[in-house]
Amino acid sequence: MGKDLTEVRSPQRTLIPDAEDWEHYIGNTIEVTLKGFITVPDSDISDVLNELPNHIELTRKEAGCLVFNVTQDENDRSRFNVYEEFEDKQSFEQHQSRVRSSMWGKITKNVERNYVLEGA
């Protein structure tokens, strides 16, 4: 059975702009959603499972992270389902930048990524 690393939503921020700020608000808060999966080579699964809790914790603490879930598939141990929501394009891009230089980025250099990105 797949390892459940649980869904936890980051603290939500309720933004209700003043009427005069509404146009600025609309133009700068397009939510970014990434969904899909990664396929991890058998030789890397142990390292991925060991580092994944740290990666999840660091990501959920990032400014702009609304939802971040990565779960190992119950039927295919090499598949990890991914679902992310960020407040806007800037926070998503900052996340991507951090990941590239992180331990997670090094450990997952050989994974195959299959994502659909919306709002970026």
Q: pLDDT at position 36, please?
A: 97
Which amino acid, one-letter code, is at 104?
A: W
Residue 22 lies in a domain: no
Based on C-alpha coordinates, what's the Rg of the chain?
16
Number of domains observed in the structure of the chain:
1
Residue 26 lies in a domain: no
Residue 92 lies in a domain: yes
Residue 7 lies in a domain: no
Residue 9 lies in a domain: no
Residue 113 lies in a domain: yes
Q: For residue 50, what are the domain limits?
A: 31-118
Q: How many residues can be counted in the chain?
A: 120
- The pTM assigned to this predicted structure is 0.75
Residue 36 lies in a domain: yes
CA atoms within a 13 Å half-sphere pointing along the CA-CB vector of 64: 17
| Torsion angle defined by CA atoms of residues 97, 100, 103 and 109, in that order, rounded to the nearest 10 degrees | 160
Q: pLDDT at position 30, please?
A: 75
In the chain (120 residues long), the average pLDDT of successive 10-residue segments reads 44 43 51 97 98 98 97 97 96 96 96 93
Residue 17 lies in a domain: no
Which amino acid, one-letter code, is at 112?
A: E
Which domain CATH number covers 70? 3.30.70.100
- For residue 83, list its beta bridge partners: 35, 69
